[in-house]
């Protein structure tokens, strides 16, 4: 290759390199600043294709999307000086690129660290002014809105970021407190269960005693009615017997004797020791004589 051709290739390569160094693209999902010798000359580059001074200007591009700061669980004290372990997270994004770069040098980890400190401070202040019931129960949404609004004002001014939302994932008691609370809850539940069992046993005794009383009353009434019916039956039977006896005395005696014979000799092998001259065999003797 001739020196002239070699020079042309070098010039072309330099031109391509200069062109590459002079052009840069910022997408809609990104935020960017331009630095010249470390000095901020373009604090908020808009999305699109842009030119810069090659080899002099430096472009810093940041993620402009919604980011998540997952803070580590922290221990806070409520108004009653009761300890709580609060696990929270924050949704945030860059709002003012110049302030963001100035405060964090464009380091997302540094931004998360600074934002985490402010979140902890706001949570500690607000939780410290509320009771345990207010923190744990239905007022949690109002607390989170208040924290979000307060933190957003500070973060915009100091860090150049917008805090979109602050949420609590979990609120726990410290392990040593949880064990004592659980033991107290179990004791209270055992006591309540014992009271319920005692009330149940008392009601069972009342129901059982009432059932026994009703049983005795029913048996007594049934016995009374049975005795009354039996007495009426005996009276009617005696009247019928008396009427039959008065109608034909001899036949009545004969019939009664036949019934006695039937009942007496019902089973084979029955033995009776009687005087042969007994009146019991009167009708049998009469049949033999005939």
> Judging by beta carbons within 10 Å of its beta carbon (0-12, 13-18, 19+), is residue 245 exposed, middle or buried?
middle
The encoded tokens of residue 85 equal: 């372990």
Residue range 93-132, pLDDT digits in tens: 999 888 898 888 888 899 999 998 888 888 888 878 877 7
Average pLDDT over residues 185-199: 88
- Residue with the two structure tokens 């005996």: 234
Q: What is the pLDDT of residues 134-188, one digit of tens each?
A: 777 656 777 788 888 888 888 889 899 999 988 888 877 776 655 666 677 788 8
pLDDT, one tens digit per residue, over 201-217 is 999 999 999 999 999 99
Q: Can you give the pLDDT at residue 290? A: 46
Question: What are the angstrom distances between the C-alpha of 142 and each of 28, 74, 164, 178, 279?
Answer: 34, 20, 15, 26, 112
Instruction: Give the model's pLDDT for residue 281.
Output: 62
Q: How far apart are CA 126 and CA 147, in angstroms?
A: 8
**Whole-angstrom Cα distance, residue 33 to residue 65?**
16
- Look at residue 203 in the predicted model and tell me its pLDDT: 92
Compute the average pLDDT of residues 41-70: 85
* Straight-line distance from the first to the last Cα atom of the chain, in angstroms, rounded to the nearest whole number: 172
What does the longest C-alpha to C-alpha distance in the chain come to? Answer: 177
Residue with the bigger pLDDT between 182 and 289: it is 182
Q: What does the pLDDT read at residue 254?
A: 74
Mean pLDDT of the region 46-59? 82
- Per-residue pLDDT tens digits for 2-27: 676 676 666 666 665 656 677 888 88
What is the reported pTM? Answer: 0.53
- How confident is the model over 223-252, as pLDDT tens digits? 999 999 999 898 888 888 778 777 767 777
Tell me phi and psi for residue 93, to 5 degrees.
Answer: -150, 160
Tokens of 224: 């009374």
Structure token pair of residue 193 = 């269960």
Instruction: Name all domains of the chain by residue range, CATH numbers in brackets.
Output: 11-63 (no CATH), 67-172 (3.30.479.30), 254-290 (no CATH)
């Amino acid at each position: 290759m001739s020196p002239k051709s070699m020079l042309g290739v070098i010039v072309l390569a330099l031109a391509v390199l200069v062109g590459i160094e002079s052009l840069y693209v910022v997408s809609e999902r990104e935020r960017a600043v331009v630095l010249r010798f470390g000095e901020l000359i373009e604090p908020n580059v808009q999305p699109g294709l842009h030119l810069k001074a090659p080899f002099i200007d430096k472009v810093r591009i940041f993620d402009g999307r919604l980011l998540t700061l997952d803070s580590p669980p922290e221990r806070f004290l409520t108004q009653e000086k009761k300890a709580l372990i609060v696990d929270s997270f924050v949704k945030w994004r860059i709002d003012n690129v110049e302030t963001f770069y100035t405060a964090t040098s464009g380091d997302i980890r540094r931004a998360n660290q600074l934002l985490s400190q402010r979140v902890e401070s706001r949570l500690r202040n607000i939780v410290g002014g509320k009771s345990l019931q207010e923190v744990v129960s239905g007022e949690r949404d109002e607390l989170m809105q208040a924290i979000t609004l307060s933190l957003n004002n500070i973060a915009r001014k100091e860090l150049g970021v917008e805090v979109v939302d602050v949420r609590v994932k979990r609120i726990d008691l410290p392990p040593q407190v949880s064990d004592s609370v659980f033991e107290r809850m179990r004791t209270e539940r055992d006591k309540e269960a014992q009271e319920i069992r005692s009330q149940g046993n008392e009601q069972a005794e009342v129901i059982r005693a009432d059932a026994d009383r009703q049983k005795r009353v029913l048996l007594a009434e049934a016995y009374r009615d049975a005795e009354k019916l039996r007495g009426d039956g005996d009276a009617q039977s005696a009247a019928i017997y008396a009427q039959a006896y008065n109608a034909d005395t001899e036949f009545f005696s004969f019939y009664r004797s036949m019934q006695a014979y039937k009942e007496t000799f019902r089973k084979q092998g029955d033995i009776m020791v009687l005087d042969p001259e007994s009146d019991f065999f009167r009708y049998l003797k009469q049949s033999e004589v005939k």
